[in-house]
Amino acid sequence: MRLRRGPVMQAWRPLLHRLPKVDLHRHLEGSLRLSTLMEIARRHPIHLEFGMGTAELEPLIRFTASEPADFHRFLSRFQLLRLFYTSEEAIRRMAYEAVADAALDHVRYLELRFNPAALAQTRGFHLEEVVEWVLEGVEQARREFDIQVRLIMTIVREENPEVAWRIARLAAGYRPQGVVALDLAGDELQQPARDLVPVFRWAREQGLFLTVHAGEVGPPANIRHAILVMGAHRIGHGIQAIHDVHVLRLLHERNIPLEICPTSNLQTGAVAGFHHHPLPDLYRLGLKVTLNTDDPSISDTTLTDEYLFAMAGMGLHWKDLLRILENAVEAAFLSEEERRILARRLQQEIQAIEQSWRLEG
């Protein structure tokens, strides 16, 4: 799956690591440290059909280069990860570490999404409890690291409508605590979104932003439905739009951002390789594309990696990456004033990096 390490990657990695970044599409459930999972398994009675050493656990959590790319195989990781949401301490720690790891990769603004039902289900926690624990972990990390965080609550397509409504109401109720949006995820190949349309329309009326996973492995028509029927402000992935000129026109006319996650797209089988990824074409068509991680621990990636793959694997240049970073700032679920402050901060940091780079060169 990964690019071979070559001179381009070796030369650019330090600079891209230093680059202040924005990640709009990162799942808490896919951002768990392997060491933390092993520690949780030792502390709590988790019944697994394999040993608990790193060698046994890692290939079940992380998508390896040797296994075939497959959308449902990728999604199956989340069923295993649900076993580890064992306690208040574990969930708070997972949220803290997800934010800390992003900050250590020089992500300055993060939108972290999570599904309260997934976190609550295995141990029978109340949805309100797990939301509070996530908020506490995020707030602790935000205080300790140089990062701004907003939260998105996720509903999966196969969710019971009653639970979906509860999540939407929770998201609306926690807006003062930094919950800014509602997300639709899950199996877009087998689960249509029509039963959840009223939930998302209601959420938009309450002032929440909406983002919908659509057009990753599913048809471009899913993107059209997400925008015109559900009212999505952003599209998660959306790369299949490249196959439908009418959907491309819709995205362009409405200035709908795409949350693109290249490594994840390879592992789900949405694209055959970095050199086949449509991101450069979508970018050159003038669409508002952004670069994101999706599930860093499952994909074994960082946002630095995603920027590097866009450069070394897709042929984008430094100035292209900076424009994509600007897109992410413009697409952030923030107020106009908050976006201006974030843009100013990133611009100052980038200018300092470029000045240092010229002096060092």
Q: Which two tokens stand for residue 91?
A: 């969930």
What's the confidence (pLDDT) of residue 164? 97
- The model's pTM is 0.94
User: Could you give the 3-state DSSP secondary structure of residue 100?
Assistant: helix
Q: Which two tokens stand for residue 211?
A: 């983002």
Domain ranges of the chain: 7-360
Q: At what angle do helices 161-173 and 127-144 cross, to 10 degrees?
A: 40
What's the confidence (pLDDT) of residue 309? 95
Tokens 């580890």 found at: 84
Low-confidence ranges of the chain (pLDDT < 50): 1, 4
- Is 3.55.10.10 the CATH classification of the domain at 7-360? no
Which DSSP category does 29 fall into? G
What's the confidence (pLDDT) of residue 331? 98
Catalytic residue numbers read 216
CA distances from 204 to 169, 171, 180, 211 (A): 11, 11, 11, 10
Please say whether the dihedral angle defined by the alpha carbons of residues 343, 153, 121 and 292, taken in this order, is positive or negative. Answer: negative
User: According to DSSP H, which parts of the chain are helical?
Assistant: 7-18, 34-43, 54-61, 71-81, 88-104, 116-121, 127-144, 161-173, 197-205, 220-228, 245-254, 262-267, 279-284, 296-299, 303-312, 318-331, 336-360
Pairing of strands 21-27, 107-114: parallel
Buried-state track 192-222, b at ≥16 Cβ within 10 A, e below 16: ebeebeebbeebbeeebbbbbbbbbbbbbeb
What's the confidence (pLDDT) of residue 1? 42
Which of 289, 298, 274, 157 lies closest to 235, judged by CA? 289
What's the confidence (pLDDT) of residue 34? 86
